[in-house]
Amino acid sequence: MNTPILWYFADPMCSWCWGFSPTFKAVLDLYHDRMKIALVLGGLRPGETVPMTTAGRDDILHHWQQVQTLTGQPFRFENALPDGFVYDTEPASRAVVVVSSIDPGLVFPMFQSIQSTFYAQARDVTQTVVLADLAAKLGVDTAVFLHAFDSDTARTRTQTHFHHARQAGVRGFPTLIVQQGAQLHPICNGCLPLKNVCTAIDACLEIGA
C-alpha cells in the first residue's frame, strides 16, 4: 500500500499561512509518522516588479490585522512594508527550495523562519542577504547557499513548485490535500482550526486503511 502524502500548499509571505503556522506545526507533530508531509511553494506574488502603492500597503496591513485578531500570531506593523517595497515572493520561495536541496530536513524550519522574520520582525525577506542570514542560522554554509540561490537550477525548481500548485487547482493559501495513490482529498483551503483539520485528515486515513 502506498504511503499517503499530505501536501501543504503555502507561501512564506502569505499572512494567512503565517496565521496557520501553529496549526500546521501541530499537524506535523501529530501525523509525521503516519504519512509523508511535503511542502509545495504556491507562488503568491512571484515576479512582482512594481513597488507597492500607499493604498496597496494599507489594504495588506488591514489583512494582517485580521489575521492577528483571528489567530493571535505576532505581527510587527511598525516599519512593515516600507516605501518602495516590492512584494515579490519568488526569492523567499527560492530560498526554501535551496535550503531543502542542501538539507531536506530543513525545509519546514527555513519556511517558518522566513515567515517569522517577515511578519514578527518586519525584515525584508525579498533581499538575498536576509535570506542567506536565515539559512546560516540553520547551519547552512553561506557561500554554498548563495551559489545555489543564484543558479538556474534553483529558479527552475521554484517554478516547478508554482506549476505543481496550479496543476493541483490550488487558488489560495494555505491549502492541505491528502493524496492516496491517484486520489486527491481536499483537507482545507484557508486558515482552519486544528480540530477541523485533524477531523478531515483522520477521515481520509480511515478511508485508505
Mean pLDDT on 181-198? 94
Tens digit of pLDDT for each residue in 55-111? 999 999 999 999 999 999 999 999 999 999 999 999 999 999 999 999 999 999 999
Residue 206 has pLDDT above 90, yes or no: no
Residue 207 has pLDDT above 80, yes or no: no
Cα separation, 104 vs 106, whole angstroms: 5
User: What is the overall mean pLDDT for the chain?
Assistant: 96
Tens digit of pLDDT for each residue in 141-161? 999 999 999 999 999 999 999
pLDDT of residue 209: 58
Helix (H) or strand (E) holding 188: strand 183-189
Contact of 44 with 89, CB cutoff 8 Å: yes
Backbone region of residue 51 per phi and psi (left: phi > 0; alpha: psi in -120 to 50; beta: other values): beta
CATH number, position 62? 3.40.30.10
Angle at the Cα of 42 from the Cα atoms of 89 and 119, rounded to 5 degrees: 45
Return the bridge partners of 178, or none. Answer: 6, 185
- Cβ-Cβ contacts under 8 Å for 5 (sequence gap 6 or more): 35, 36, 37, 38, 178, 179
Show the cell assigned to 151: 543558479
Contact of 75 with 64, CB cutoff 8 Å: yes
Show the cell assigned to 63: 489583512
Domain count for the chain: 1
Mean pLDDT on 133-144? 98
Q: Which amino acid is at 27?
A: V
- Residue 201 structural domain: 5-208
